[in-house]
Amino acid sequence: MLQKNNKPTVKTRKINVESLREPTIEELYKNRLNGKIEENPITEEDDVKRSWEKIKNNILTAAYEALGTRISNNSKKNTNRTPWFRMEVAEKCREKKHAYLTYRTLRTPESYNEYQKIRNETTTPARDLVIVQLFDQALPLDATTAGTQ
């Protein structure tokens, strides 16, 4: 079996844009941005490049001051953002890959039938989990709209 290449995690600082969901933080950001625009306005003498630099600098400075930063781990482990892809689905996918490689190597009807069987066993649970996930996300929305009609 092949071993995964474990890359080291790279920590980077990013603007915490999720905090904009709070009305007080959103208002603080608007005020800081307006203040930065007044401090560093675009003038008639500025060319396009200089104007863009001023706009970008105003937005970034206001965002760092009002929203703050967060540390982001850019690792392979954090890239899986599909909640339905659980360990049992991952294990089935590994089995399917192994069966496929066996079939591609041997090219026999038995190995193809084994691959087909595992492929069908893998697809059904994954599809069911996706449907359940979508249903769970849609349910609160439907429940709130059903009472308003």
Q: Is the pLDDT of residue 81 over 50?
A: yes
Enclosing domain of residue 111: 87-146
In this prediction the pTM is 0.45
Which residue would you say has higher pLDDT here, 10 or 63?
63
Q: How far apart are CA 126 and CA 96, in angstroms?
A: 13
Q: What distances in angstroms separate CA 91 from CA 20, 88, 112, 131, one per listed residue?
A: 38, 5, 19, 19
Kindly state whether residue 128 falls inside one of the protein's structural domains: yes
> Is 101 found in the same domain as 67?
no
On whether both 67 and 91 belong to a single domain, the answer is no
pLDDT band at 4 (very low <50, low <70, confident <90, very high): low
Give every CB contact of residue 72 below 8 A, 6+ residues apart in sequence.
Answer: 11, 12, 13, 14
> Is 1 within a domain?
no
